Amino acid sequence: MNLALDIQSLNVSIDKIPILRDVSISVPKGKMVALIGRNGAGKTTLMRAIMGLLPSKAAHMTADGQNIGKTAPHRLAAMGISYLPEDRRLIPSLTVEENILMPAWANHIEDTRKRLEWTYELMPEVAQFRSRRALQLSGGQQKLVALARALMMGQKLILLDEPFEGVAPVLSRRLTEVIGRLREHGLSVILSESDDTHSSDLVDVVFRIERGVVRADVEA
């Protein structure tokens, strides 16, 4: 099968304490996968391990067929893999557009303008406040900007860590719409949530994580 991400038997320990145990998870190309688990189950740790931000050991870890087991975060960005952390801090004194462009400056991508215009098409409201400083935005608006920023590099695979957490209902609906459209653009997505509230209508495959152990939902 054509897999955007394929992980077999991934283990992560922090301070010698095993946090993730024998985790296997795969994301088919162009599909959206949910990672559901309570607080402290290990969702963030798994995303950070995939992004090369934490040391991990895996029997197999590939993205689009390429080994990413020991790949530095900036290399993953160059491969079109991106991460929206739960704590999506923007730089308050920079404008919205400058914040969105930050990863592109840091990583050098060729079609920056085109990619920026694409994020604006996806989220026209962000284009409307592109010249405002990030500190002038509401929390919900900041979430959209952080998603736009992650989408600059995430041309193939994007990891969204609890994007709906702490977001008011109106904005949750808007975020659901935007995230739901990512597949139309060929993106593969991992979306984490503490329960199925928002992801159930969005995703193709569900993985559940409990105390560092992951299992796939098997359809009845």
Exposure b/e, 81-93, CB count within 10 A at least 16 = b: bbbbbeebebeee
95 binds ligand ATP (CB under 6 A): no
Beta carbon of residue 88, minimum distance to ligand ATP (angstroms, whole number) = 13
CB of 84 to ligand ATP, least distance (A): 13
Closest approach of ligand ATP to the CB of residue 94, in Å: 26
Considering only residues 9 to 38 of the shown chain, the ones binding ligand ATP according to CB under 6 A are 14-15, 19, 37
Residue in 83, 55, 78 with CA at minimum distance from that of residue 66: 78
Rank residues 43 and 115 by Cβ distance to ligand ATP and give the closer one.
Answer: 43
Phi and psi at 212, nearest 5°, equal 80, 5
Cβ distance to ligand ATP smaller for residue 41 or 61: 41
Q: How many CB atoms lie within 10 A of CB 197?
A: 11
Compare residues 109 and 159 and give the one whose CB is closer to ligand ATP: 159
In one letter, which amino acid is 207? F
Q: Which residues of 21-35 are buried (b: 16+ CB within 10 A; e: fewer)?
A: eebbbbbbebbbbbb
The window from 42-50, 60-68, 90-98, 110-118 that contacts ligand ATP (CB under 6 A) reads: 42-50
Q: Which residues bind ligand ATP (CB under 6 A)?
A: 14-15, 19, 37, 39-45, 162
